[in-house]
Amino acid sequence: MHAATMALLGLWCFGFARRSMVVPETIRENGFPLLLLGMWVVYIGVQILPVSGAILGVLSPRAFEHYEAAAKAGFLPKFALSLDRGSSLAELQKVSAYVALFFLTMALVTTRGRLRLALVALTLIGTLEALYGILAYLSKDHFRFWSPGIAPNSVSSTYVNRNHFAGLMEITVPAGIALMLAESRVSFARNWRGVLKSGTEFLLTRTGWLSFCVLIMCTALILSTSRGGIAALMFGIGFAVALAAMFRGRSAPEYRIVRWTLGLVIVGVGWLGAGGLVDKIENIGLTSNRQDLREVTMRIVEDYWLTGSGAGTFRWIFPIYKTEAFGSGHYEHAHNDFLELLSEQGIIGFALAGIAITLLLYRIIVGYARRRDPLMSGALFFAISGSTAMLAHGWVDFNFNIPANAAMFFVLLGLGAVAARLDSGRARAGTLQGNSRA
């Protein structure tokens, strides 16, 4: 992923040097958040660089103690802010790829056609993943071509973890809804007679196909039995609908689309059932059982609050802090992306990433308040609902440590930034120098 993304960025830079590519206004307007994300990447690189023992003792006393203990045991490691420079280097590659994808999305999605195409691609990805997962679920895994790590009685598709499959649905379901909102002539019958009369015709329209895609994805999400994923998507869509009501009133098309989507969910549950979700809620409830893990992570944060223990090092320092409650169990992630980021990168890395994402979300919401074009409004609805769903899910899981989902999140932010700025007029090519204002 890193190699392919950097190759694409290199091609864009080559075109820019030859004056065949220009910097779109979307990037210029979001220069400060992009700068913060760039500083975030640089900071992870700084964690890897060798430093003197005196500097390390001031910036991260607990890390200095670990390096001193290693030296007394016969090892002679180079002092660094990161306790495992190899893991931080791998994290540097991933984060730099995410930021590059965010930049490339804003640089290349410069027309209405490309924005629509990106939403179609995300919807198709989600639909194909959901179809594959449902077929594997119904066939009792006989249809599955490989088994990366399947949870029993739930849909996880090509993902190891059903919660991370749910994280993908949190982005792709809103993409399908966004395309439905972009159909400015969408209409819904007000009675069952009208529904039956127009049903066949509806299935042959683009809205009908999009409804089928959303139905498949919502059904797969329910069958994943991911309580956090289902609740996060409901929160994200609910938050976006609340903003629509605030900006446009109760006549906003988002109301009708969301009611239609809820109807599709009910149809999907009635069609295939809720899988093991009901039993899981009855046995476990709606709360998470990871309080002990959060307490351990908070102890790490207290020891490395300023500079962090090093990006990607949680899995290696967890054994130092775990209590008897974990026994021989081992966790590679904190199941809370916010606390894990704070423990690994300290307040510096957390602030750089957090402020950048907050500014981008603010600008996307401002764009949503003023845009009335159906495609732009739909894309902004997608960006708001998908991003808030992912962030909400981040409190109880680690989707941002899964490269596929993290990359999708930054593409989502890029598309939201584009939709907040893109001209609503006739599509024009914005990558050629002569059309730099498109």
The DSSP secondary structure of 192-215, one letter per residue, reads HHHHHHHHHHHHTSHHHHHHHHHH
Kindly state the average pLDDT of the residues 181-186: 70
Asked whether the predicted pLDDT for residue 289 surpasses 50, the reply is: yes
Which tokens sit at 398? 């680690």
pLDDT value for 196: 56
Residue 388 pLDDT level (bands cut at 50, 70, 90): very high
* Contact indicator for 374, 414 with CB cutoff of 8 Å: no
Asked whether the predicted pLDDT for residue 187 surpasses 60, the reply is: no
Residue 432 pLDDT level (bands cut at 50, 70, 90): very low
pLDDT value for 268: 59
Structure-model confidence comparison of residues 80 and 268, the more confident one? 80
> In terms of C-beta distances under 8 Å and separation of at least 24 residues, what long-range contacts does 350-354 make, across chains too?
352/36, 352/37, 352/39, 352/40, 352/43, 353/36, 353/37, 353/40
Task: Report the percentage of the chain scoring pLDDT > 90.
Answer: 62
| Closest C-alpha among 369, 388, 387 to residue 377 | 369
Q: What are 253-269's pLDDT values in tens digits?
A: 887 777 767 766 666 56
Q: What are 359-387's pLDDT values in tens digits?
A: 999 999 999 999 989 999 999 999 999 99
Tell me how far apart the alpha carbons of residues 382 and 181 are, in angstroms, rounded to a whole number.
10
| Weakest-pLDDT range from 261-275, 307-321, 421-435 | 421-435
Asked whether the predicted pLDDT for residue 51 surpasses 50, the reply is: yes
Asked whether the predicted pLDDT for residue 193 surpasses 70, the reply is: no
pLDDT value for 166: 95
Which amino acid appears at position 137 of this protein? Answer: Y
pLDDT value for 286: 47
pLDDT value for 74: 85
Structure-model confidence comparison of residues 32 and 281, the more confident one? 32
pLDDT value for 363: 96
CA 393 to chain centroid: 9
Kindly state the average pLDDT of the residues 96-107: 98
CA 388 to chain centroid: 9
pLDDT value for 258: 73
- Phi, psi angles (nearest 5°) of residue 201: -65, -40
Residue 299 pLDDT level (bands cut at 50, 70, 90): very high
pLDDT value for 250: 75
Polymer length in residues for the chain: 438
Kindly state the average pLDDT of the residues 159-176: 94
Asked whether the predicted pLDDT for residue 25 surpasses 60, the reply is: yes
Residue 195 pLDDT level (bands cut at 50, 70, 90): low
Task: Report the percentage of the chain scoring pLDDT > 70.
Answer: 83
Helix and strand tally (H, E) in the chain? 18, 0
Which tokens sit at 105? 């999305």
Which tokens sit at 3? 């190699």
Kindly state the average pLDDT of the residues 80-100: 97
pLDDT value for 279: 53
pLDDT value for 264: 64
pLDDT value for 254: 81
pLDDT value for 327: 83
Kindly state the average pLDDT of the residues 24-36: 95
Kindly state the average pLDDT of the residues 151-158: 81
Which tokens sit at 112? 């209405």
Residue entry with tokens 């990366």: 148
Average pLDDT, the chain: 86
Residue 203 pLDDT level (bands cut at 50, 70, 90): low
Residue 235 pLDDT level (bands cut at 50, 70, 90): very high
Residue 33 pLDDT level (bands cut at 50, 70, 90): very high
Q: Which residues contact 225 (CB under 8 A, 6 or more apart)?
A: 151, 153, 154, 162, 275, 276, 277, 280
In the chain, domain spans: 112-424
| DSSP 8-class letter at 238 | H
pLDDT value for 282: 46
Q: Which residues contact 87 (CB under 8 A, 6 or more apart)?
A: 310, 311, 312, 313, 315, 316
Beta strands in 344-427 (DSSP E): none
Asked whether the predicted pLDDT for residue 437 surpasses 50, the reply is: no
Percent of the chain as helix, strand, coil, to the nearest 5: 70, 0, 30
Q: Is 135 exposed, middle or buried (0-12, 13-18, 19+ CB in 10 A)?
A: middle
Asked whether the predicted pLDDT for residue 42 surpasses 70, the reply is: yes
Asked whether the predicted pLDDT for residue 436 surpasses 50, the reply is: no
- Phi, psi angles (nearest 5°) of residue 269: -65, -40
Asked whether the predicted pLDDT for residue 321 surpasses 80, the reply is: yes
Residue 430 pLDDT level (bands cut at 50, 70, 90): very low
Please give the C-alpha separations between residue 133 and each of 261, 407, 414, in angstroms, as whole numbers.
20, 21, 28
* Contact indicator for 163, 399 with CB cutoff of 8 Å: yes
